Amino acid sequence: MVLYTDLLVVGGGPAGMAAVLQAADSGLSVILLERYDQLGGQLVKQTHRFFGSKDEQAGTRGNVIARAMEEELEQLDNVTVLLEATALGYYEDNILLVSAQHSLKKIKAERIIVATGAAEKMLTFPNNDLPGIYGAGAVQTLMNLDGVVPGRRVVMVGAGNIGLIVSYQLLQAGVEVVAVVEAARQIGGYLVHAAKISRTGVPIYTGQTIKRAYGNGEVEGVELWQLDHNWQGIPGSERSLAVDTICLAVGLRPLTDILVQAGCQMAYVPQLGGDVPLRDDNLKTSNHRFYVAGDAAGVEEATAAILEGELAGLSAILELGAKEGQSLEVKKRTVKKKLDKLRKGPVGEKIRAGLLKVRRDGNAGKDRYSHTG
Amino acid sequence: MRIKEHPVLEFKRGKMIKFNYNGRELTAYEGETVAAALHAAGIKTLRKSTEFQRHRGLFCAIGNCSSCMMEVNGVPNVKTCLTRVTEGMVVAEQRGKGDLGALY
């Protein structure tokens, strides 16, 4: 049996939920897929207060924002939420195959918004598959959600903001952080986070990386070495640290498998975390049915994901002929302005550079969402 | 190991339940994932790779990497980082790719 819907949103994190909420009064049928047994994505794990402007809910904790969006969503009777539902693949004739609570469903949608988020990046080194090696997100989940520590002695790889913050959270949980290791010559994260770590006596080694992990079946230690200016290990510079846990905080990559299957034109853009789909200024990809939003469009943060979700949602339902088209156009312009504002300044520099490479509307060189440039 | 004291966070733990891991009885808190319950019991090796029998454990904890798959109540390839542990659940390390024959 095939399910038909106007709009299908894949991923119930901040971007996906924001997209669905736009369809509230549209009269369109909407299906939202979420792999986990609850909505919210990584937002539910963000127990810190948001930065930035009041408009974008600064000062509110991520898990509170997620809960509020979910409550709003529950009110909508044109929306079907499928939990424990994984999109397995996109097939000919516009069929999306879904495993929903262990049964298979085929879904045909007029428009599909891919808001699948991102996955932890891996580093290549011998024995990188040993138990005891975790992505930073996994360590956060274990510690902050489950109240379980990953081990007793940890080496953190990556001194960006995530590596520094998770190191501090490990210390708070009573875990010994033996060192923070960073391949670049400088610490990537904010100084305030680095200072917090340094004050506790944890060394931050720059210009170094993992040569290999070792251990009989599980991590027992790690060998580090120094890097030369071509990022090559320097023989003779090795040193070993006895640790039972290696935490990798080396970035995230967008989850774009469905978009690749749908034949969307892709581009490798390091500033956005990896392979991402080309898109126009409404977040529509080169496949006319597909939109992208949130980390799947380029790794950024939750506020940008929410705004992108709103933009993709509004654009898709406008195309589908939603009832109150006029007011939606106005709303869409406001969202674009907010995104512009969010990405202004030095903090947004990397994202802006990345976004210039993924335009597909012939306006390369202008800011992606700018209407003035 | 579980965190006993934390300066910022408070953990609302469910009621204590029992489950079975490779024939052993373990305890867990209702509502937590199988992978978290096993970690709390100090068990980090969740499966072995199919070809070279290399040990594999939790890596991403968001259902993406497949490193934590185990056999749960007879069903193979269950992502234990997403699956909540329940009273009497039977969790076992999986051999090979898993046999679906018993299910279909």
Alpha helices in A5-61 (DSSP H): 14-21
pLDDT tens, position by position, A136-171: 999 999 998 899 999 999 999 999 989 999 999 999
Selecting from A135, A141, A173 the residue whose C-beta is nearest the C-beta of B3 gives A173
Q: How far apart are CA A139 and CA A145, in angstroms?
A: 10
pLDDT tens, position by position, B50-87: 999 999 999 999 988 999 999 999 999 999 999 999 99
Please give the structure tokens belonging to residue A67: 């809960």
Residue with tokens 């005891």, as numbered in its chain? A132
Q: How far apart are CA B100 and CA B94, in angstroms?
A: 12
- Residue B14 banded pLDDT, cuts 50, 70, 90: confident
- In this structure, the strands spanning B16-21 and B90-92 are parallel
Q: How far apart are CA A278 and CA A358, in angstroms?
A: 5
Selecting from B45, B61, B82 the residue whose C-beta is nearest the C-beta of A142 gives B61
| CA nearest neighbour of A81 among A90, A89, A71 | A71
Contacts of B41 in chain A (CB under 8 A): none
pLDDT tens, position by position, A41-80: 988 877 666 655 556 666 677 888 899 999 999 999 999 9
Mean model confidence pLDDT for chain A: 91
> Residue A313: in which H helix or E strand, if any?
helix A302-319
Rounded to whole angstroms, what are the CA distances from A4 to A24, A68, A313, A359, B65?
A: 18, 28, 18, 31, 30
Q: Is the pLDDT score of A373 beyond 60?
A: no
The pLDDT of residue A366: 42
Question: What crossing angle do the helices spanning A161-172 and A191-199 adopt, rounded to 10°?
Answer: 30
Q: How far apart are CA A222 and CA A130, in angstroms?
A: 11
The pLDDT of residue A97: 97
First to last CA, chain A: 49
Q: Is the pLDDT score of A134 beyond 60?
A: yes
Residue with tokens 């509004």, as numbered in its chain? A314
User: Do A131 and B58 count as a contact with CB atoms less than 8 A apart?
Assistant: yes
pLDDT tens, position by position, A99-124: 998 799 999 999 999 999 999 999 99
For B75, counting Cβ atoms within 10 Å of its Cβ (0-12 exposed, 13-18 middle, 19+ buried), the class is middle
Q: Which strand ranges, in their side-by-side order, compose the sheet holding A245-248? A: A133-135, A245-248, A153-157, A176-182, A204-206
Q: Is the pLDDT score of A344 beyond 60?
A: yes
Fold of A122-248: FAD/NAD(P)-binding domain (3.50.50)
The pLDDT of residue B103: 63
- Residue A16 banded pLDDT, cuts 50, 70, 90: very high
CA quadruple A137, A166, B84, A114: dihedral positive or negative? negative
- Residue A368 banded pLDDT, cuts 50, 70, 90: very low
pLDDT tens, position by position, B34-55: 999 999 999 999 999 999 999 9
- In this structure, the strands spanning A30-33 and A2-10 are parallel
- Residue A132 banded pLDDT, cuts 50, 70, 90: very high
The pLDDT of residue A369: 41
Q: How far is B101 from chain A (nearest CA, A)?
A: 16
Q: How far apart are CA A180 and CA A87, in angstroms?
A: 37
- Residue B100 banded pLDDT, cuts 50, 70, 90: confident
| Nearest C-alpha in B relative to A142 | B36
Query: What ipTM score was computed for the predicted complex, to two decimals?
Result: 0.95
The pLDDT of residue B7: 84
pLDDT tens, position by position, A162-215: 999 999 999 999 999 999 999 999 999 989 999 999 999 999 999 999 999 999
User: Do A148 and B45 count as a contact with CB atoms less than 8 A apart?
Assistant: no
The pLDDT of residue A57: 66
Q: Is the pLDDT score of A365 beyond 50?
A: no
Residue with tokens 């709003």, as numbered in its chain? A72
**pLDDT over 90 percentage in chain A:** 82
The pLDDT of residue A322: 76
% helix, strand, coil for chain A, step of 5: 30, 30, 40
- In this structure, the strands spanning A103-114 and A2-10 are parallel
| Nearest C-alpha in A relative to B40 | A148
User: Do A129 and B49 count as a contact with CB atoms less than 8 A apart?
Assistant: yes
pLDDT tens, position by position, A18-28: 999 999 989 99
Q: Dihedral (C-alpha) A24, A26, A30, A36: value to the nearest 10 degrees?
A: -20
CB-CB contact of A196 with A171 (8 Å): no
CB-CB contact of A188 with A204 (8 Å): no
Q: How far apart are CA A255 and CA A274, in angstroms?
A: 9
- Residue B13 banded pLDDT, cuts 50, 70, 90: confident
Residues B81-103 as b/e (b if ≥16 CB within 10 A, e otherwise) read bbbbbeeebebbebeeebeeeee
Q: Is the pLDDT score of A364 beyond 50?
A: no
Domain boundaries, chain A: 2-119+252-369, 122-248
Q: State the pTM of this model.
A: 0.89
**In this complex, how many residue pairs, one in chain A and one in chain B, have their CB atoms less than 8 Å apart?**
100
Q: Is the pLDDT score of B4 beyond 50?
A: yes
Fold of A2-119+252-369: FAD/NAD(P)-binding domain (3.50.50)
Within this chain, domains A2-119+252-369 and A122-248 share the same CATH topology:
yes
Selecting from A119, A150, A172 the residue whose C-beta is nearest the C-beta of B60 gives A119
